[in-house]
Chains A and B, each alone.
Chain A
Amino acid sequence: MSGRINSAATETEVLIFKKENRLKEIWRRLKKDKLALAGLFLVCFFIIMAIFAELIVPYAAAVTINPHNRLARPTNEFIFGTDGFGRDLFARCLHGARVSLSIGFITAIATAIAGSIIGAIVGYVGGKLDDIVMRALDIFSAIPSILFAMAVVAAMGPGIFNICVAITVTSIPGFVRIVRSAVLGIAEQEYIEACRAGGTSTARILFRHVLPNAVGTLIVNTTANVSQMILTAAILSFLGLGINPPQPEWGSLVSEGREFLRTAPHLTLFPGLMICLASFAISVFGDGLRDALDPRLRT
């Protein structure tokens, strides 16, 4: 890094070089955290199972009703047993994973994108815009997010896409707040002042200098959000909003199983265990990731 950097190409190269180094450093720190690795492994396992669900057990098995084999205990053929309609619970959990996990990841990413853009602009531009947006957010946060999401789902009708929209809309305000305060903190730093003094454009400062420095915060919160979103989706479908039967989703599986809690508790416990494990694995990984991204935050 001696010598002057005078072309845009060199600057990009330097950035990429630094990025690679940083990723390596983060990975090196993450590797040391055995618990986080276990979480990552479990998350990947869940994702792979969800992606190849169709190859493991066809979707038909998850929805085919078989009145002759109702409420079967776990056997070799049906390792999680069968539900009140004689459907293979393992197949239902597996295909439910597709729904639950995709809702979790899609909404978390959508929230992150929308939240960062709004938060960054609001935080950096400040002034009247900031006031107006913050007051609007006050209104949103005065409504319990579950109720708000339910109202949105009710208004838009059931379906995975609508659930995603409802969850995203309700979680954007929280994300905006986080990004905004991160951006406010960074915008105060002297190197941003230096950029401004040097005549760098606002957009460039924002997307080249401010946001990259908030990336740690964004990733950490997005990871935490994935497990939060899975829970929210589970609560919504537990309450019978959102997923159209007979499509399986973890929350609705728990809700369906509740009817047979006394006689066949495994109907509730298996999908419950799925929610529990997936959400825990993501949280553990997210925690390790936070420590690896910023050792100063290590607690």
Chain B
Amino acid sequence: MHRFIIRRLLMLIPIVLGVSLLIFMIIDMIPGDPGSMLLGAGARQEDIDMLNEELGYNQPFFRRYANYMGNAIFRFDLGRSYATKRPVLDEIGNRLPVSLIVASSAIFFSLIVGVPIGVLSAVKQNTLADRIPTGLALLLSSQPGFLIGIVLMLIFSLRLNLITPHGIANWTNYIMPMVSLGLPNAGRQLRFTRSSMLETIRQDYVRTARAKGATERTAIWRHAMKNALLPVITIAGNNFGVLIGGAIATETLFGLPGLGSFIVTGIRSKDVPVVTGGIIVFAIIFALVMLAVDVSYAFVDPRIRAKYIRRKGLA
């Protein structure tokens, strides 16, 4: 098990290098230079040049990349933002918790709503108790989160005046982002759980359980559920990873200082350290989440557990 985890962590190195190089290149292609962007249209060329030199932007591309990665790897320093001059890592440290709270609450919400209803839909296949939730799920999963967010904002902030629509002043501010990201995800989770479950309840071992005299409830919740869970965990993990950096429209809508909107600001002002650093952190988190998903497989499925500890005697 440890060897597996270590191997997976080592695989992060090429991914981080690849991601950073790719992003570095794309950001470099954005027209303009950070100096003129920061100083604005009226600035004198000498000032712009000076600022660019100060930022190290005058050096050739690969020198800049090598410097950046050298600092990142050996000093654990992701540089300073061109715009705010503050260390990127500090900035990320401030924003990551917001993203984590939003993403995990949304995933939690979507699991609580999506999984049980998905299982029930599968069990009640082709009845109204299946058709209505799956229809709604399809509707929800084809909506962008920001649209649901706007509707929520309209109702709960503007009409009912229940929640302030902006900022992170208190915990109620997280409710609307959670629901607006969670609902489309819940739709996806529901549909996924349902189809995974439908496949599982047709398996021979579920029939075996019934042949032993199991009640429907036992056959489904004890025998089918655990087996149907694996793909559901994967999807949840994947969505969680995506939401940490990808919930940008919702972050913008609700004025949340999250990781996604941080990176977007960086893209707009060609702030290379911000964008690269932000995306590296994101890539690492994403990889760690997927690793956690794979490890959690081992707890559910003894066959996968066995793969990790194969060396321990003959089975």
Give Cα A165–Cα B26 distance, bound, in whole angstroms: 14
Contacts of A150 in B (CB 8 A): 248, 264, 267
Q: Which residue of B lies closest to A227 (CB)?
A: B142
**Closest-CB distance, B210 to chain A (whole angstroms):** 21
Q: Which of A35, A140, A155, A258 contacts B135 (CB 8 A)?
A: A35
Q: Which residue of B lies closest to A268 (CB)?
A: B150
Give Cα A282–Cα B139 distance, bound, in whole angstroms: 10
Contact call B248/A299, Cβ cutoff below 8 A: no
**Closest-CB distance, A73 to chain B (whole angstroms):** 16
**Closest-CB distance, B203 to chain A (whole angstroms):** 14
Contact call A239/B19, Cβ cutoff below 8 A: no
**B 139-155 contacts with A by CB, 8 A:** 139, 141-144, 146-147, 150-151, 153-154
**Closest-CB distance, A294 to chain B (whole angstroms):** 13
Give Cα A142–Cα B158 distance, bound, in whole angstroms: 38
**Closest-CB distance, A223 to chain B (whole angstroms):** 12
Given contacts A154-B30, A155-B27, contact A283 B142 (CB under 8 A): yes
Contacts of A63 in B (CB 8 A): none
**B 14-57 contacts with A by CB, 8 A:** 14-15, 18-19, 22-23, 26-27, 29-31
In the complex, per-residue mask of A245-273: 1 if CB is within 8 Å of any chain B CB, else 0: 00000010010001001100100110010
Interface pick from B60-68, B172-180, B278-286? B278-286
Contacts of A268 in B (CB 8 A): 150, 154
Contact call A142/B286, Cβ cutoff below 8 A: yes
Give Cα A280–Cα B143 distance, bound, in whole angstroms: 8
A8 within 8 Å of B (CB atoms): no
Contact call A283/B141, Cβ cutoff below 8 A: yes
Contact call A154/B15, Cβ cutoff below 8 A: no
Q: Which of A144, A147, A155, A239 contacts B252 (CB 8 A)?
A: A239
Q: Which of A146, A261, A262, A283 contacts B248 (CB 8 A)?
A: A146
Give Cα A299–Cα B248 distance, bound, in whole angstroms: 33
Q: Which of A142, A152, A234, A272 contacts B19 (CB 8 A)?
A: A142
Contact call A151/B142, Cβ cutoff below 8 A: no
Contact call A299/B194, Cβ cutoff below 8 A: yes
**Closest-CB distance, A72 to chain B (whole angstroms):** 19
**A 201-253 contacts with B by CB, 8 A:** 227, 231, 234-235, 238-239, 251
In the complex, per-residue mask of B265-301: 1 if CB is within 8 Å of any chain A CB, else 0: 0011010000100010011001100000000000000
Contacts of A272 in B (CB 8 A): 147, 150-151
**A 109-144 contacts with B by CB, 8 A:** 135-136, 138-140, 142-144
Contacts of B27 in A (CB 8 A): 151, 154-155
Contact call A143/B279, Cβ cutoff below 8 A: yes
Band of interface residues on B:
35 or more
Given contacts A136-B18, A155-B29, contact A299 B198 (CB under 8 A): yes
Contact call B147/A275, Cβ cutoff below 8 A: yes
Contacts of B264 in A (CB 8 A): 147, 150, 239
Q: Which of A144, A151, A152, A283 contacts B245 (CB 8 A)?
A: A144
Q: Which residue of B lies closest to A35 (CB)?
A: B135
In the complex, per-residue mask of B184-195: 1 if CB is within 8 Å of any chain A CB, else 0: 000000000011
Contacts of A251 in B (CB 8 A): 144
Contact call A280/B138, Cβ cutoff below 8 A: yes
A276 within 8 Å of B (CB atoms): yes
In the complex, per-residue mask of B58-93: 1 if CB is within 8 Å of any chain A CB, else 0: 000000000000000000000000000000000000
Contacts of B151 in A (CB 8 A): 269, 272
Q: List 10 A-B contacts (CB under 8 A).
A: A142-B283, A142-B286, A144-B282, A151-B267, A231-B143, A235-B249, A254-B150, A258-B253, A275-B144, A283-B142
Q: Closest 10 interchain pairs by CB?
A: A144-B246, A139-B18, A142-B283, A155-B29, A279-B142, A283-B142, A144-B245, A299-B195, A151-B26, A231-B144
